[in-house]
């Protein structure tokens, strides 16, 4: 019940902001939500599944490019393209994931990195189709998404739907089983879990939502760029989840969004953003490995303990 109220409250605030923020601020807020969704999609795989995924940007990129190519080259209706983009990302995740889950831990991570870079190179080289390193500009969007405000509200709406879907999935028997696999694959296997299949499914589910995030990016900015698939882009949801806290759903959203917010605001003053990001990351890993939500939780339980003592 309290979570329901929190969700509705957050939704009301996000919608209400449309009447308050400037177009620039709305664009930034939309970027933050997209980054939050992207981080959340990764956290299903990394936080719940314990699989460190270095190639998640591939599915973000596929989502974006699928929207761009379907509208630009295939002449599809933008909304139909938007609906198909996550499914295409899911298809890519299904194939790539099938290979990746055949290895565990570091070897899994390296495979995801390799496949991610492979897709990046393909998009980079297929200049005729994808525009290569110029990306694809001037994408069509539905007429009712012409204004900054409308696009912001569209991002808010899609984000909220995805968050609600993911929240339900997170409470599913599937996720409980996946967490069991994360904690102890051997024990899970000897209780009857097909470990690879369990990991493959979450890989595809996460890839699908990354595809939604990528398609949102394409609609919001009306362009896609090849660096959407670059490995460094894969590190953003990892850092975002780490900063926000992998143990919750809100954590990665906050962390992913916060990273964008800091990046945009800090690069206005200094070119040393990567260095500052490095320092922030180090501080989090050393001082708050559970992220911001972990800090809040610790602070709360301490408050609770103090209250109990009194």
Q: How far is the CB of 102 from other proteins (least distance, A)?
A: 13
**Is 173 near other proteins (CB under 8 A)?**
yes
Stretch that binds other proteins, among 83-91, 144-152, 166-174, 261-269 (CB under 8 A): 166-174
- The residues in 197-236 that bind other proteins, with binding defined as CB under 8 A, are 197-198, 201, 205
Stretch that binds other proteins, among 117-125, 138-146, 188-196, 296-304 (CB under 8 A): 188-196
Stretch that binds other proteins, among 2-10, 35-43, 136-144, 192-200 (CB under 8 A): 192-200
Q: Which is nearer to other proteins, 179 or 222 (CB)?
A: 179
The full DSSP string for the chain is -HHHHHHHHHHHHHHHGGGTS-HHHHHHHHHHHHHHHHHHHHHIIIIIT----S-THHHHHHHHHHHHHHHHTS---HHHHHHHHHHHHHHHHHHHHHHHTTS-HHHHHHHHHHHHHHHHHHHHH-HHHH-GGG-B-S----GGG-SHHHHHHHHHHHHHHHHHHHHHHHTSHHHHHHHHHHH-HHHHHHHT--HHHHHHHHHHHHHHHHHHHHHHHHHHHS-B-GGGSSHHHHHHHHHHHHHH-TTSSHHHHHHHHHHHHHHHHHHTT-S-HHHHHHHHHHHHHHH-TTHHHHHHHHHHHHHHHHHHH-
Q: Which is nearer to other proteins, 190 or 269 (CB)?
A: 190
* Helices 173-183 and 148-170, axial angle in degrees (round to 10): 70
**Is 75 near other proteins (CB under 8 A)?**
no
**Is 138 near other proteins (CB under 8 A)?**
no
Q: How far is the CB of 194 from other proteins (least distance, A)?
A: 5
**Is 169 near other proteins (CB under 8 A)?**
yes
Q: How far is the CB of 226 from other proteins (least distance, A)?
A: 32
**Is 186 near other proteins (CB under 8 A)?**
yes
Q: Which is nearer to other proteins, 197 or 309 (CB)?
A: 197
Q: How far is the CB of 172 from other proteins (least distance, A)?
A: 5
Q: Which is nearer to other proteins, 19 or 173 (CB)?
A: 173
Q: Which is nearer to other proteins, 133 or 183 (CB)?
A: 183
Whether 213 and 39 have beta carbons less than 8 Å apart is answered as no
Name which position in 94, 118, 193, 266 contacts other proteins (CB under 8 A): 193
Name which position in 12, 121, 176, 275 contacts other proteins (CB under 8 A): 176
Alpha-carbon span 131 to 78, nearest angstrom = 19
**Using CB under 8 A as the criterion, which residues of the chain lie in contact with other proteins when the complex forms?**
168-169, 171-177, 179-180, 182-184, 186-195, 197-198, 201, 205
């Amino acid at each position: 019940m309290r979570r329901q109220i929190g969700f509705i409250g957050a939704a009301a605030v996000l919608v209400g902001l449309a009447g308050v923020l400037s177009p620039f601020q709305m664009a930034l807020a939309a970027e933050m939500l997209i980054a939050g969704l992207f981080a959340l999609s990764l956290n299903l795989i990394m936080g719940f599944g314990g699989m460190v995924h270095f190639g998640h940007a591939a599915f973000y990129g596929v989502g974006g490019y699928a929207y761009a190519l379907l509208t630009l080259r295939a002449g599809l209706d933008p909304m139909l393209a938007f609906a198909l983009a996550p499914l295409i990302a899911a298809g890519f995740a299904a194939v790539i994931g099938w290979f990746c889950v055949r290895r565990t831990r570091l070897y899994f991570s390296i495979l995801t990195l390799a496949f991610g870079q492979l897709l990046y190179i393909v998009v980079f080289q297929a200049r005729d189709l994808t525009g290569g390193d110029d990306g694809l500009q001037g994408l069509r969007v539905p007429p009712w998404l012409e204004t900054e405000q409308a696009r912001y509200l569209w991002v808010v709406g899609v984000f909220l739907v995805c968050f609600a879907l993911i929240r339900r999935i997170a409470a599913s028997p599937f996720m409980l089983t996946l967490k069991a696999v994360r904690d102890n694959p051997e024990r899970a296997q000897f209780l009857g879990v097909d470990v690879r299949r369990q990991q493959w499914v979450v890989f595809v589910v996460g890839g699908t939502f990354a595809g939604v995030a990528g398609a949102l990016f394409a609609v919001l900015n009306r362009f896609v760029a090849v660096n959407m698939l670059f490995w460094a882009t894969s590190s953003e949801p990892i850092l975002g989840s780490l900063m926000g806290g992998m143990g919750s759903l809100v954590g990665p959203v906050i962390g992913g969004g916060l990273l964008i917010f800091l990046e945009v605001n800090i690069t206005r003053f200094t070119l040393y953003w990567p260095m500052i990001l490095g320092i922030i990351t180090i501080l989090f890993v050393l001082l708050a490995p559970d992220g911001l939500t972990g800090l809040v939780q610790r602070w709360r339980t301490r408050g609770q303990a103090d209250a109990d003592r009194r």
